[in-house]
Amino acid sequence: MMHETRGFRDRRPEAGEAPPALEVRGLTVEFPSRRGTLTAVEDVSLSIAPGEVLGVVGESGAGKSMTGLAVLGLLEPPGRIAAGEIRIGGRRVDDLPDREMERVRGREVGAIFQDPLTSLNPLFTAGAQLVETIRIHLGLDRRAARERAIALLREVGIPAPEERVDHHPHQFSGGMRQRVVIALALAAEPRLIIADEPTTALDVSIQAQITALLRRLCDEHGTGVMLVTHDMGVIAETADRVAVMYAGRVVEVGPVAEVLRAPRHPYTRGLMGSIPALRRRVPKLTQIDGSMPRLNAIPSGCSFNPRCPQAGPRCRRERPALAASGAGLAACWLEQGGVE
């Protein structure tokens, strides 16, 4: 039986209990090619409660964004879900026809991507795009939809929303465009938002404003948020829990404070050690030697073993599963009886 934590459940909600905003069980994403099948995400399980922010962190190529795209039903062919289940609000969505999944996107799950210009149509005003989304998913008439659009712009901090609702995307700054995208993601009051690197293209002061806005909206609306990022600072400021991914698998998951204070997996410790500290001087930041393995060259055993300074024979032989460690879970033989 799967070990039960706040992040992993092996039971259905009891009567009267709200289902998770997101539940992913055993997700595997594959890309068939002429040289064989490449596995981008393997056996990933996680869940997000209503009103909770789960940070998903790791280097480029770890599988973070691919997991988010699988949840949204936006995998580019030939990418496919080869195994597992995805449930949003208790409803299974990974096996839905494309047309039905289109109705789920926006209504049940919203998306915020790194570059707001890719999410906004430059030919239409912010208000027109909000009104269209609201009318499609909530069935309001044009006047009521426009009033809701203005209210959403006000809620996400757009000044003078009655005027800005008729402005085109190019008339907004980068930070304000991202606020419009957040308003679009919230337009139909979804259960879940997938936020994929939502602050990377913004300067530091604007990043802080956007992460604070996401946190506040999550608390006020009870929306679950999957926050995909490589920035542990953003995770520390915004998330309730964090899932660390490496080479397509979750290697550690737990409460943010616990993972930051006492990371259990050597990869997580490497990530923590590479962050500069303001209040103490260190002679040298930690460096993780090597690089993320290519999809066609994932090593046997623990995929992190070629880069791990504590790896032993068992790490090269057997792949560890996630198991209870501290307040969370870790996939590491150091936490499960030794590396020999």
Residue 107 has pLDDT above 70, yes or no: yes
Number of domains in the chain: 1
Q: What is the pLDDT of residue 42?
A: 97
Rounded-to-integer distance, Cα 258 and Cα 64, Å: 21
Rounded-to-integer distance, Cα 200 and Cα 178, Å: 11
More confident residue, 10 or 196: 196
Closest to 99 measured CA to CA, from 76, 122, 73: 73
- What's the pTM? 0.91
pLDDT tens-place string over residues 161-211: 999 999 999 999 999 999 999 999 999 999 999 999 998 878 888 888 989
Residue 170 lies in a domain: yes
Rounded-to-integer distance, Cα 310 and Cα 38, Å: 28
Structure tokens at 175: 């930070």
Residue 91 lies in a domain: no
More confident residue, 204 or 97: 97
pLDDT tens-place string over residues 13-50: 555 678 999 999 999 999 999 889 999 999 999 999 99
Residue 292 lies in a domain: no
Q: What is the pLDDT of residue 66?
A: 97
Q: What is the DSSP string of 163-187?
A: HHTT--GGGS-HHHHHHHHHHHHHT
Residue 284 lies in a domain: no
Residue 310 lies in a domain: no
Residue 183 lies in a domain: yes
- Helix ranges (H only) for 108-250 are 126-138, 142-155, 161-164, 174-186, 204-221, 232-238
Contact call for residues 163 and 189 (beta carbons, < 8 A): no
pLDDT tens-place string over residues 54-93: 999 999 999 999 999 999 999 999 999 999 999 999 999 9
6 pLDDT band (50/70/90 cuts)? very low
Residue 94 lies in a domain: no
Cβ neighbours around 301 below 10 Å, total: 18
Q: What is the pLDDT of residue 68?
A: 97
Residue 262 has pLDDT above 90, yes or no: yes
Whole-number mean pLDDT of the chain? 91
Task: Indicate the SS3 state at residue 88.
Answer: strand
Rounded-to-integer distance, Cα 147 and Cα 131, Å: 9
Residue 175 lies in a domain: yes
Rounded-to-integer distance, Cα 42 and Cα 132, Å: 37
Dihedral angle of Cα 200, 206, 207, 212, to the nearest 10 degrees: -150
In the block, tokens 């030697």 appear at 289
pLDDT tens-place string over residues 279-317: 667 677 778 889 999 999 999 999 999 999 999 999 999
Closest to 322 measured CA to CA, from 25, 14, 48: 25
Q: What is the DSSP string of 10-26?
A: -SPPPTTPPPPSEEEEE
Which residue segment(s) compose the domain that 119 sits in?
A: 115-189
Rounded-to-integer distance, Cα 81 and Cα 90, Å: 19
Structure tokens at 241: 């829990």
Q: What is the pLDDT of residue 17?
A: 73
